[in-house]
Amino acid sequence: MTRLALAAALLALAIPAAAQAELAVGAQAPDFTAQSAMAGKVQSFNLRAALRRGPVVLYFFPKAFTQGCTLETRAFAEATPQFAAAHATVIGMSADDLPTLQRFSTEECRSKFAVAAATPAIVQSYDVAMKMDQIPAERRAQMPAGMTGRTSYVIAQNGRITMVHSNLDYRDHVRLTLEAVQALSHKH
């Protein structure tokens, strides 16, 4: 093996799993319909229908009412006017049950956007299951089964993924997705 190939292989191992995209940019986003909550009211969310109105920011978060997820969701709520100006729909998804998401939609989403229940099929199709090797060993036993990781997708109106950010640190998700939808807006 050449030194360059060896260096590339070592670099690939050094990159944390959290930085690797779950579905690739350019991939067709899997269509889905899910039960969701908006302002505490149960409704149905269909990706294809949302894409008719503009791009969709689909962000998966691990667990409602946890510190990082609450801060991320509040940041998305505060940025709602900027997303709306780019004609983008924001939808948060987690494996939480619908009653929890109903409460979360009013308390943390501030009734600005919907949050939906990510079924096992949706979690699998978007490849967003929590990667337990990213969690410190002492916390793994406390983690409920079926949790999603923290991954944000921007999906263009043609159904193609144009941006992916996968990182358990919530801080860059809103900024990066907003930049992506604004770039899409400027193309049209």
SS (H, E, C) the chain: CCHHHHHHHHHHHHCCHHHCCCCCCCCECCCCEEEEEECCEEEEEEHHHHHCCCCEEEEECCCCCCHHHHHHHHHHHHCHHHHHHCCCEEEEEECCCHHHHHHHHHHCCCCCCEEEECCHHHHHHCCCECCHHHCCHHHHCCCCCCCECCEEEEECCCCEEEEEEECCCHHHHHHHHHHHHHHHHHHC
Is 69 labeled as catalytic in the residue annotation? yes
Catalytic residue (choose from 69, 116, 161, 178): 69
Residues noted as catalytic: 69
